[in-house]
């Protein structure tokens, strides 16, 4: 398995957050700094969870934070955030969340290849455990890029 075009700049490790809302803001921050998303996109993600619940908690300990493209996406982009201490999103079976993948998709289809690659990661429990226990961005990069 490998994730195409990932760089170490797409990964944060050891991020501290007091709750799911702060975790979302911190996981999206690199995308805001790169100009891939606007702050309105981050607010849209948070509002969506408040309205619809933790619908993007995909598997045990993993959330794929995203919202509608028209709420502030400029470029297709992705960020992996490994939390120092897991946070609860309110999902009975899959909490607490250890990793948030923030996805910025510009339309309904441009991100499908990325989603296919992410699926390969999310079904590999051994790989996920290695990612969760990684201490550096380089370790996670090597695991996600297939070089580790």
C-alpha torsion sign, points 25, 117, 119, 52: positive
Q: Which among 39, 15, 27, 92 has a CA at the least distance from the CA of 64?
A: 27
Structure token digits, residue 99: 């990793």
Asked about 111 being catalytic, the answer comes back as no
Q: In what order do the strands lie in the sheet with 62-65?
A: 11-15, 77-87, 97-104, 62-65, 57-59
Q: Are 138 and 6 in contact (CB under 8 A)?
A: no
Q: Which among 13, 16, 34, 24 has a CA at the least distance from the CA of 100?
A: 24
- Residue of 61, 66, 91, 111 marked active site: 66
Across the strands, what pairs with 64?
Answer: 101
* Active-site residue list: 66
């Amino acid at each position: 398995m490998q994730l195409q075009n990932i760089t170490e700049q797409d990964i944060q490790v050891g991020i501290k957050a007091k709750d799911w809302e702060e975790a979302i803001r911190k996981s999206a921050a690199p995308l805001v700094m790169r100009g891939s998303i606007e702050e309105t996109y981050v607010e849209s993600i948070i509002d969506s969870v408040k309205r619809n619940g933790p619908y993007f908690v995909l598997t045990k300990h993993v959330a794929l934070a995203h919202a509608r493209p028209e709420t502030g996406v400029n470029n297709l982009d992705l960020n992996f955030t490994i939390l120092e201490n897991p946070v609860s999103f309110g999902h009975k079976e899959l909490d607490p969340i250890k990793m948030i993948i923030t996805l910025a998709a510009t339309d309904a289809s441009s991100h499908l290849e990325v989603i296919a690659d992410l699926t390969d990661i999310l079904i590999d429990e051994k790989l996920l455990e290695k990612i969760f226990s990684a201490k550096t961005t380089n370790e996670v990069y090597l695991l996600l890029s297939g070089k580790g």
